[in-house]
Structure 1
Amino acid sequence: MKNLIFSFLIGMCAIGGFAQTVPNQKASSKLISKQIVEIACGECQFKMKGKDCELAVKIDGKPYFVDGKNIDDFGDAHGEHGFCNAISKAEVTGEIVNNRFKAKEIKLLPTSK
């Protein structure tokens, strides 16, 4: 009987510990609406680790890779003023989910001269 109770308690502790380590999807997401951000190549300009040149935005000082838009959707990324060679400003709407920005809208802002 003692072994049965002991096994039950160990099992409950294991289940409780597992439940605490499962990530909460809602806790790891944040809505962004018409926020002005920096936008560029994550690897070339924001020094993020990645496999290739990939679009990224910097929101509240933290860079995020972008899903839903491609780095070349806004012109040649390797051109003189492309995202691999310059940081631009954009107004973005979307959601940060699991440390990636899920873009609904990205509007590039004119560069100041």
Structure 2
Amino acid sequence: MKKFITLLFFALLAIGVQAQEKTKKAAVVNFEKPHVVETACGECKFGLPGKECDLAVRIDGHAYFVDGSDIDDHGDAHAKDGFCNKIRKAEVTGKVENGRFKASTFKLLKDEAGKPAPKK
């Protein structure tokens, strides 16, 4: 009987350990000074869920939708070099809150060919 109780105890312990939710700690992102990040359409280029084209940034491999700047503020998103067709670089300040990047500043940088950021 002791063996059965011991075996049952270890079996329940193993089940309990495996059943614990494994969560990753979200990285703290708070850019008070300008940082260069990748930016594009979250749905088209970064695989974020959504129903329409929305601006997103990718920081340390994680993509976040952007609040404080709109995809249409930076030219035609569906142009050859637009956010739905090309990943660009931007200089940003802001922080991640509730899974979204709250941009204080958002400056689209020149692309690799030296072409200036599109103007609206």
Common topology (TM > 0.5): yes
Match of 2:56 in 1: 56
Report the Cα distance in structure 2 between the residues aligned to 1:90 and 1:50, rounded to whole angstroms: 22
Report the Cα distance in structure 2 between the residues aligned to 1:86 and 1:99, rounded to whole angstroms: 23
Structure 1 residue ranges without an equivalent (≥5): 1-26
The number of residue pairs the alignment matches comes to 87
- Where in structure 2 are the equivalents of 1:64-103 lying within 5 Å? 64-103=64-103
Q: Which has the higher relative contact order, 1 or 2, with Cα contacts under 8 A spaced 6 or more apart?
A: 1
Give 1:30 shift: 3.2
Write out the 4+ residue segments of structure 1 that deviate beyond 4 Å after TM superposition. none
Residues 60-98 of structure 1: CA deviation (Å, up to 9, x unaligned)? 111000011110100000111100010001111011001
Percent identical among aligned pairs is 56
Match of 2:41 in 1: 41
* AA aligned opposite 2:73: D
CA RMSD of aligned residues (A): 1.6
Give 1:101 shift: 0.3
Report the Cα distance in structure 2 between the residues aligned to 1:45 and 1:30, rounded to whole angstroms: 21
Q: Tell me the SS of whatever aligns to 2:72.
A: helix
Report the Cα distance in structure 1 between the residues aligned to 2:39 and 2:82, rounded to whole angstroms: 10
Q: Tell me the SS of whatever aligns to 1:56.
A: strand
Structure 2 residue ranges without an equivalent (≥5): 1-25, 114-120
